[in-house]
Structures are given as C-alpha cells and as structure tokens.
Amino acid sequence: MKKVNIILVGFGRVGKAFFQVVHEKTAFCQERYGLDLRLYSICEIDGALFSPDPLDASHILERFPSLSLMRENPYWKEGLHLRDLLSSIEPGVLVECTPSNIRSGEPGLNHLRQALDGGWHVVTASTGPLVVDFRGLREKAKEHGVKLKFSGATAAALPALDMALYSLAGAEVYRIEGILNGTTNYILTRMKEGMDYKQALEEAQSKGIAEPDPSLDVEGWDTASKILLITNAALDADFTLDDIKVEGITAIPTYLLVQGKEEGKALKLLGRFSKEEKTPLEVSLKVIERSHPLYGVNGADKGITFTTDTMHSVTVTGGKSDPRGAGAALLKDIINIYRKNL
C-alpha cells in the first residue's frame, strides 16, 4: 500500500467537496489502486488544521463543517503557514483550491511554487497560477521530478485535459473548440428558450450555477483561461491571455440572437484554437448547426472537440460541472500520479 500524504489549501466550495470525496473514496482507493490517502492538513490564509495523524474526516465533516467552525477545532493552529507544513510532512501532494486571480495568479501561484520546490506533487483546481506562469511551473515540476496536474482547473469532471495529454498522445492537434463555462452556456440555453439575458442570469445565480459576481464568466475570461491552459498543454505551447481575442455574452448582437433561436441552430460561447488562423486563440459567440458535435451540450454542461491529424476529431461532453465534479477531478489526478496498475 502506497502512502499518499495530502495537504489541502483552501476550504471553499471546491476544497470542501474534495475533502468529502476523499473521505468517501478512501477505502475504494486502497482496494482498487493500492493507494492510502492521508490528508494531514487543511490550510487557510490565517492558519491551518493540522494533526500528527491523518485527519478524521467524518469527525471534521460532522463537527466542523464550515471554515468558521473549523477554527474551533482543537487542531486548528492560528498562524501556521503552508511553508511550515510542507517541510514538516513527508512530501506527497498539495491540493490547491483557493479562489484564483487570473492576473496575479495569487495566492495560488506562491503555494504552487513552494510546494514544487519542496518536492511535493501539485494538483490544482485554481486556474490563476497556471494562466500566469504555465511554463515556469511546468519547468519547476520537471526540475524537482514531481508532477503538476490541473484537470480541476480546466473543466471540473469533463476530462478535457486527459483527452489533450493522454488520449491524443502522438496526434497533432490542429483545432480545439470548447464550451468550457457552465454559467454562460446555461444563460444561452435559457435565452434560446425565450428568457432575456437578465432573467437567465438571475435564474443561474439563484440556482448556484452563476457566482454573485459573474463578470469573469459572462465576459468570457473564464473560458479564455481554460482554452489557454488546454491549448498550452495540448501543444506544449506558451500562449498567454494577451494572445486571446475575448468576447463575452453581455452584449449579444441581435442578428446572432435571432439566428441562434432558429430550429436546428444554437448560439454558443466557444473557446477556440485554430492552428491556421492569424489569431489562433479566441473566445467568441458562434451560431452552430445541429451537425456540430457540441450542438447538444446544453444548460450548465460542457464539452470540447479536438481535431487532429491521425485520430481525426474527438469530442467529449458531460462530466459533473460543480464543486463535487471538481473534487472528483482532483482525486483523479492524485490517483493518476501514483497508480501503478494502468
């Protein structure tokens, strides 16, 4: 049985979902993959929960379900920093779940650098650090002989990145087209059904699909960050956010709205890479036909199509598009770092 030491940073919606999934799947991972998941610490900005033995998840979930309550846990150490944790536990995986800033990459970028330097593998749901310094982080991981995985940062449980890196190995990717943001796709789907933008956004917010401040989503930047990461990974490339022409859904031209409502057509916000174009990366509104492989991707669902030389076109759709899906994607990445039986 391989021991897998884990530090979780960030206990928001995704961090908590990951904690819950690890708790549910501990026995399954032992049996199926021979991996003993040992979560030693939940680290926050002002301190950390840390015990010398792996945390008792059922106890924590029952007694200290929220971050504020967690601070009342006797194992809560005010002011304990990630840096100290990284050096006091035998290296395993750092799981990064803090809210990410796509311009500074912080606070995640700093966490990731510390972890990689300390010989820890990294699995991240935060997009920011990778958007800001993809190349640097990859090189740091390589230098220290550890892995940097980020399925949870690209599309939660939709295996966009597995497709790009693993399933299309050996093929050259010419084009990528993805519906990568649940909020915008939900709004566009409801607008096709007759709602106006404001109604649809409010509904998405009331259902917990859209954030209270939805600007990163509806202005296209979340999609831009994801298509950037997927493209850089698929092509081993170095594009930055500045290379992307970004359009959102806040001011949809009337002719697109009308066309998108026609029978057999749909208006979608697509993140796109195309090798042949002068501006190879863009996020833009497109009216797609029924024959398009992403036509049926509705509501908060996501999907992505890769077009390649030797394998032609492959599309993957679905995958739980919520914190639990992201938590499951983080666990998947951990398993795939360590497993021997593949």
- Residue numbers of the site for its own copies (CB under 8 A)? 21, 24-25, 28-29, 32-33, 142, 147, 157-159, 162-163, 165-172, 236, 290-291, 293, 295-296, 305, 310-320, 324-325, 327-329, 331-332, 334-336, 339, 341-342
Using an 8 Å Cβ cutoff, are 140 and 118 in contact? Answer: no
Using an 8 Å Cβ cutoff, are 41 and 7 in contact? Answer: yes
Catalytic pick from 226, 268, 302, 332?
226
Could you tell me the sign of the dihedral formed by the alpha carbons of 247, 248, 250, 251, in that order? positive
Least distance to its own copies, CB of residue 76, Å: 28
Cβ distance to its own copies smaller for residue 7 or 334: 334
**CA 295, CA 265: separation in Å to the nearest integer?**
8
Answer yes or no: 2 catalytic: no
- Number of alpha carbons in the 13 Å side-chain half-sphere of residue 140: 23
Strands (E), 31-172: 35-44, 47-50, 76-78, 93-96, 121-124, 148-149
Cβ distance to its own copies smaller for residue 55 or 300: 300
208's CB contacts (< 8 A; 6+ apart) are none
Least distance to its own copies, CB of residue 27, Å: 12
**CA 190, CA 87: separation in Å to the nearest integer?**
50
Cβ distance to its own copies smaller for residue 33 or 64: 33
196's CB contacts (< 8 A; 6+ apart) are none
Cβ distance to its own copies smaller for residue 92 or 325: 325
Identity of the amino acid at 107:
P
- N residues, the chain: 342
**CA 270, CA 128: separation in Å to the nearest integer?**
20
Least distance to its own copies, CB of residue 28, Å: 7
- Quote the DSSP letter at residue 174: E
Which run of H or of E encompasses 268? strand 265-274
Cβ distance to its own copies smaller for residue 236 or 276: 236
Least distance to its own copies, CB of residue 255, Å: 26
Least distance to its own copies, CB of residue 306, Å: 9
294's CB contacts (< 8 A; 6+ apart) are 177, 178, 179, 268, 270, 288, 303, 304, 305, 315, 317
Least distance to its own copies, CB of residue 151, Å: 8
Cβ distance to its own copies smaller for residue 22 or 80: 22
Active site residues: 226
